[in-house]
């Protein structure tokens, strides 16, 4: 895809080698009953193009990013906006959006800094099964 803005679905960008991040993607896929989201690793061509467009670091993959309608949402805000679209009681977590971003992202940053130590890391990006390929870009 030449233009990153052509996609009609919101895209979740994640650290493709992080076990926690890959697990979060699988969690979202299971609960995305309306087939809303698409996914790309931050390390992919698509992910890098979004990072460049918004002048974000292309070598520090420590944020969960939601790219929707030409805007990006990062860290805890992105995670809460995603939970709002999931099946079940997960949208109730959106109430935490009222906690100041400084506090929410403080917890997010603590987990992000320690995610490899606590959850491990892969040598290369997680590859989805063939039946999930249509949800992934690049």
Predicted TM-score (pTM) of the model is: 0.88
Q: What is the pLDDT of residues 31-57, one digit of tens each?
A: 999 999 999 999 889 999 999 999 988
pLDDT of residue 97: 94
Q: In Å, how far are 62, 104, 117 from 35, measured between CA atoms?
A: 26, 27, 32
pLDDT of residue 126: 63
Residue 121 is classified by DSSP as B
Domain assignments of the chain as residue spans, ordered by start: 11-132
Q: State how far the Cα of 75 lies from the Cα of 25, in Å rounded to an integer.
A: 14
Q: State how far the Cα of 21 lies from the Cα of 8, in Å rounded to an integer.
A: 23
pLDDT of residue 124: 65
Q: In Å, how far are 60, 76, 80, 85, 96 from 104, measured between CA atoms?
A: 20, 6, 10, 19, 8
The parts of the chain modelled with pLDDT lower than 70 are 1-6, 124-127
Interstrand relation of 38-41 and 11-14 (parallel, antiparallel or unpaired): parallel
pLDDT of residue 120: 86
Sheet holding 11-14, edge to edge: 38-41, 11-14, 65-68, 71-74
Q: State how far the Cα of 94 lies from the Cα of 17, in Å rounded to an integer.
A: 27
pLDDT of residue 40: 92
């Amino acid at each position: 895809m030449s233009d990153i803005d052509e996609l009609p679905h919101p895209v979740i960008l994640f650290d493709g080698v992080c076990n926690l991040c890959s697990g979060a993607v699988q969690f979202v896929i299971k609960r995305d009953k309306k087939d809303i989201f698409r996914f790309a690793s931050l390390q992919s061509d698509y992910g890098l193009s979004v990072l460049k467009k918004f002048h974000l670091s292309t070598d520090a993959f420590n944020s969960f990013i939601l790219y929707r309608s030409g805007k990006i949402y990062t860290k805890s805000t992105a995670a809460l906006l995603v939970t709002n679209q999931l099946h079940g009681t997960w949208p109730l977590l959106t109430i935490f959006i009222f906690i100041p971003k400084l506090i929410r992202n403080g917890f997010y940053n603590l987990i992000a800094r320690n995610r490899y130590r606590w959850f491990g890391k892969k040598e290369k990006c997680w590859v989805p099964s063939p039946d999930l390929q249509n949800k992934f870009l690049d």
